[in-house]
Every structure is written in C-alpha cells, then in structure tokens.
Amino acid sequence: MAEQARHLWWGRPAERADSAHVRPGTDAARTSDTSRTSDASDASAHARLGRPVRASGAAPAVGGVVLLLPDGEPESPRGPSTVAHAAALPLARSLARAGRADGLVAHVVRYRGRGWNGPDAQLATDATWAVDEVVRRYGDVPVCLAGHGMGGRAALRAAGHGAVNSVLALAPWVPEDDVAAQPEPVRQLAGRQVLIVHGTNDARVDPELSYRLAERAKKSNRTTCRFEVHSDGHALRQYQEEVLALAADFVLGALFSRAYARPVADALAAPPPLGLRMPLAAGFGRSLRY
C-alpha cells in the first residue's frame, strides 16, 4: 500500500520516491536495493544515539528520556537515512520543550541501516540497544519509545525492555495478515502506556492493521489507546499541531505522571472499540500549556 510519492514525518520527502513502488521481498526489490551502492558508505557498524535534545531552561537533572525512532523500509541493505533522521527532529524538539520542567531529554536513534529485514528485525534490535545506552548514560530513568512508520513497529517490538514505560507509535508499519506467519507480538506491551496514532487516509500503511494490533494489545494491556486523525495521511501533516500536542500530553503523562488531557484519559479507560478509534479533534492542545 504505497502512496504515489512516499513521505516521511510531516512531509519531508524520502531520497527516492520510486522505492515505494517496489514490493518488499521480491527479486525486483532486492535488485533495486543492491543497485543503490551510493548509500552503502553511509552504513554504520553500530547504532548510535543522536545528540541530546534539551530545551533551554530545562531542569538540570535528567528526569526521563524519549527515544525517537525514524521511519525505515521493510527490506533494504542500505545505510541509515539522513532524511528520516532529520524528519524526526521536530517531534524531538517539541517534546523537549514540553518536558523542560521535568528534565526531559530526547535522542533520535541512528540505526545501523534502514531495513527491518525480516527475522533480523534490525530496527527493533537497534531500539533495544538504544535503551541500554540510555540506562548506561542516565541511570534509572523512565524511557518512552516514539516511532513513526517502521520506527513505530520498532518501538512496539522493543517495548519489553525493563526501562521502557511507554510507547508512542505514529502510523506504525504493521505487516499484512498472513496465516503462514506469526502475528506481530503484543505481550511485551504489558504494563506499558501505549498510544497509537494513525491517519484514516494513510495509503502506505492500512490503518485497520494498527487497529487490529491495538485490539489484541488491549486484551493483555488495558493501558492501550489509539487515536484516528480524520482524512490525514501517512506523514500526519494535515493536523501536525494537534498530533504534536497529543504526543506531548501522552509522553509527559506517561513519564512524569502528569494528568492526561480528558480525551487521552477517556481513550485509555474506554473499552474497544471506543478507546481504539478515538478521533483527534481539530484544535486539540490549544488550551494546554507546557
């Protein structure tokens, strides 16, 4: 389900729009990926944390960390995408500003490469490494994993780490239902605060797939909710301000036990399908002050 031109977070174009037209896992996809040798030199041997993002006037002590996981591709041998990394920075800065009083630090994870690559689940492995690195640097602080697209899948998959207390998945890439394959796991979400946000007009990832995943997750983890952004696409550009406000409200509530805005609290408390099809209202967050 590819858009005519693939978009990353909030409208930043990918390096190659034609990559969305190749079906993952096919010979054509492998040929297309391996032919892009110009990116091979960008690959890193190890995942890395981007520079810490902190707001001016932030509390001196680090009270919590949010790890931003950029979008990726289902299969690719190419190195990490600098465009996807840059596309995650606006959310990192927005969250750091909102959490300045609590000493919130944001990092954008630099993957080893951009492909999930089947059983390797490389992006999820890099996300788990990043949480370990946060613990090494900052000690016992709560961590939120926030990812978009394929990064959303990585955030959900890596949520079982003991330091992770919450997951924010924006338009998460979820594989198509396949009776021959195991469904995407959800047990690792138990005990975490989970928010999934998806545009109803996402042409790259069917929003119904994230709904079905949330429905399964809700059975074992009551603190799961999902918001739908009416008429928005994969990049969630049309209601960017509302999405940023929703993300900030959720992350601050999850990491620092702040009171959630009423729509978020209602979504977490409501049974399916209400709490998993909560509409994101236009103007959400205008009355909130961080």
* CA dihedral sign, ordered 256, 92, 69, 52: negative
From 122, 105, 10, select the one nearest 60 (Cα to Cα).
Answer: 105
With contact defined as beta carbons under 8 Å apart, do 249 and 285 qualify? yes
Higher-scoring residue by pLDDT: 264, 32: 264
Decide if pLDDT at 42 tops 50.
no
Exposure b/e, 130-160, CB count within 10 A at least 16 = b? bbebbbeebeebbbbbbbbbbbbbbbbbbbb
Instruction: Return d(Cα 103, Cα 55) in angstroms, integer.
Output: 9
Out of 51-55, 106-110, 116-120, 272-276, which region has the weakest mean confidence (pLDDT)?
Answer: 116-120
Contact between 122 and 130 under an 8 Å Cβ cutoff? The reply is: no
Residue bearing tokens 């591709």: 73
Phi, psi of 147 (to 5 degrees): -135, 155
> Residue 24: what pLDDT?
39
- CA separation for the pair 146, 154 (Å, rounded): 9
Query: Do 288 and 245 meet the contact criterion of CB atoms below 8 Å apart?
Result: yes
Read off the pTM: 0.85
Strand order in the sheet with 64-69: 48-49, 104-110, 64-69, 143-148, 164-170, 193-199, 224-229, 278-279
Within 8 A by CB and 6+ apart from 247, the residues are 91, 94, 95, 146, 168, 170, 195, 197
The total number of residues written for the chain in this structure: 290
Helix (H) or strand (E) holding 69: strand 64-69
Residue 287 pLDDT level (bands cut at 50, 70, 90): confident
- 3 state SS of 274: helix
Q: pLDDT tens-digit profile of 199-215?
A: 999 999 999 999 999 99
81-123, pLDDT tens digit by residue? Answer: 899 999 999 999 999 999 999 999 999 999 999 999 999 899 9
